[in-house]
């Protein structure tokens, strides 16, 4: 057996409005909470449903008496027929808003489409198929291929570039100076340890050897660099 479906908010609103239209009377909220279940609206939902009707101006809320604690009573703003008419008008307004939005979107899309068509036509000008254009494109492809070939040839001789050679030489000089500076620091540290810990000379020697500081450890010396003119540079094909 299928489970009974609960009422939607709109169905609950209509059920509660029926209570007003059937009696054409005023009600306190606590009275409506007792009458709601008879229409299929559980007591716990009545307050929220009534408040939604008040917010939509379908039910009026007034006070009895002038004290702050005076109880509020509720009554319908419209007759049932008027309510149906108001609901139909609101639905019509909603549909009109949707229609206007879709119409505006369609107009924007049509405008953008026309702009794109005009741009496409402008881009095609001067690019019509012709023998002259085909010859120019063929020549352009040949020049691009030659350009790529020259770039590859130039890359082969990049190591013989004087600027690259000087930059490499400077980098070697910097690395050489840094290596000897650290070598000097290691010798200074080793001398300091031997002076301050003479009783641990053997242990210190073993420690330095473990990290590569052996008796052969010394400052770096670089061989004299060859001048760039002494490096043979292969000639490109066709070069005299």
Residue ranges of the domains in the chain?
A: 9-77, 79-124, 162-223
Looking at the predicted structure, is the pLDDT value of residue 4 above 70? Answer: no
Looking at the predicted structure, is the pLDDT value of residue 110 above 60? Answer: yes
Residue found by looking up tokens 């149906």 in the block: 84
CB 56 within 8 A of CB 11: no
9-77 in CATH: which number? Answer: 1.10.10.10
CB 59 within 8 A of CB 82: no
> Which of 46-81 are b and which e, b meaning 16 or more Cβ less than 10 Å from the residue's Cβ?
beebbebbeeeebbeeeeeeeeeeeeebbebebeee
Q: Average per-residue pLDDT in the chain? A: 76
Looking at the predicted structure, is the pLDDT value of residue 67 above 50? Answer: no
Res 129: pLDDT: 74
Tokens of 178: 């840094």
Q: 3-state class of 78 per DSSP?
A: coil
* Of 42-51, 52-61, 218-227, highest mean pLDDT: 42-51
pTM for the structure as a whole: 0.31
């Amino acid at each position: 057996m299928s489970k009974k479906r609960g009422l939607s908010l709109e169905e609950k609103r209509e059920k509660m409005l029926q209570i007003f239209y059937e009696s054409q009377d005023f009600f306190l909220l606590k009275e409506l909470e007792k009458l709601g279940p008879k229409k299929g609206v559980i007591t716990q939902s009545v307050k929220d449903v009534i408040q939604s009707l008040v917010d939509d101006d379908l039910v009026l809320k007034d006070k009895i008496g002038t004290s702050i604690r005076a109880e509020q009573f509720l009554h319908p703003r419209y007759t049932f027929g008027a309510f149906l008419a108001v609901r139909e008008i609101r639905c019509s307004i909603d549909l009109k808003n949707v229609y206007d939005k879709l119409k505006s979107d369609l107009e924007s899309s049509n405008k953008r489409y026309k702009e794109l068509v005009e741009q496409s036509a402008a881009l095609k000008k001067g690019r019509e198929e012709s023998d002259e254009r085909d010859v120019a494109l063929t020549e352009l492809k040949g020049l691009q291929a030659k350009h790529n070939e020259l770039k590859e040839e130039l890359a082969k001789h990049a190591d013989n570039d004087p600027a690259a050679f000087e930059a490499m030489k400077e980098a070697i000089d910097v690395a050489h100076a840094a290596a000897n500076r650290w070598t000097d620091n290691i010798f200074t540290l080793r001398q300091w340890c031997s002076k301050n810990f003479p009783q641990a000379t053997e242990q210190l020697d073993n420690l330095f050897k473990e990290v590569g500081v052996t008796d052969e450890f010394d400052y770096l010396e670089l061989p004299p660099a060859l001048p760039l003119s002494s490096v043979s540079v292969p000639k490109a094909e066709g070069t005299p």
